[in-house]
Each structure stands twice: as C-alpha cells, then as structure tokens.
Structure 1
Amino acid sequence: MSNLYLKKPFGRASKVLSLIGLIVVHLQILVGVVLYFLSPLGINSFSGESMKHAISRFYMAEHPVGMIIAAVLITIGYKQVKSTIQASAKYKRVLVYYTLGFAIIAYLIPWFLWS
C-alpha cells in the first residue's frame, strides 16, 4: 500500500508477491476440494435435513462456495494486474481484489472451533 502512495513502479517484488498470493490461494482451494470429497462433512453428508443445521450447512455449502468466490476474486485481481499498464492502477487493483478475497477467507474460517 505504501508503494501506491509513494508512486513507485510495480516492480519485480510486487509481481512475485502477488503471484505467491495467487499460488497459495489456488493450492488451498485444491486441498479444500480434495477434503470436501473425502471428508464425511463434505459432499457425502448432503441431505435436506443437514441444511437445517447451521454447522452442517456451513461445511457443506457456505464455506466451500465462499472460498471459491474468494479465489475467483484474487484470480481476477491478478489477471487485471497483468493486463494493466499504469503502476498506480496495478496497486489499486491488487489492493481491492486481494483485500476482498482475503476478507472473505478470514470471515469463513471456522473460528468457532477454537472458542
């Protein structure tokens, strides 16, 4: 964010950092999809009755859909950064899309497990 206000060019370090963020999110989605199909809390427990319980619904629908939306936002942000020429626009797009994506991820982490 400081690079945006200091009007620095979108250099190699910024490109690498945004790429690392993209790769980490995609690896996390891959692990999540595998767990979703192997876990008894995932796709195997789909039923109308399960959707009435908040925790079951969270694991079956809300968490996976939200994480996919977050990954899509981060991917869109990365792709737009690659196609944008002006450095300040690149920083703004990374800031907006990555912040939205990571905010969704933070919101959908099952924090109640640790309370």
Structure 2
Amino acid sequence: MSVSLYYTARRAAPLSDAELTAVGQVVDTCNANAPFSLEEEGLYLYDQLEPGTVLDGSTKLPAADDRAVSSLVHWLAAVTALRSTVPDADWAFTLDDYEIEWDDHTGYHLPGLDD
C-alpha cells in the first residue's frame, strides 16, 4: 500500500526568479540528503499548474516499515523548507487525506515522530 505526501502553494503572483532558484535549491538539497536512495521518490514538483497555483508536488513514502518514519521526518522538514521560500502563499499539505498542520515555531511535524 502506497502513502504519499501532497503539497500545494497558491497565490495570485507567480514565483519570482529568486523564489524559483530558492525552491530549486531546496529540492536539490533535500533530495540529495534523503535518508535512503532516491530509488524511492523525493520531492517531486509538477510541471503543469492550475491558475493561481505556484507550487504543487508530491512525495511517495517508502512502504518498508523500517524506512517510513525517518523518511517522513525528512520530508516534513523538506516541505517546511519549501514553505519558507514562499511564505506568503496559501499552503496545503497532506499525508494522503490527513491534513498536516503548520506550526509557526516548528513548521510541519506530526506529534510523536521525533520520539
């Protein structure tokens, strides 16, 4: 059974060149530092965007139980970093259908994962 993260940022103004560069750096860095090989999916941003959407993507989590938690912690931090590059957008972030809440102090996290 596959579980995925989905992340979307919406706003009226398109991404600036500086924002595009920053997003690209986050994607490259987070994918390169993934806890497991990128035979598994990393941050994947869609090319086709709906009007008003400036960033849209997904990440499939590994099915192996021994990889799931560390991967989830890594990708939560990665999407937190993405959000920091486009802070003035309206963000949606879900684990399949479960909404992941934003916290101004810790970013995206799920209780109990860091234990």
TM-score, normalised relative to structure 2: 0.35
Bigger share in helix: 1
* Structure having greater relative contact order (Cα 8 Å, sep ≥ 6): 2
TM-score after normalising by structure 1: 0.35
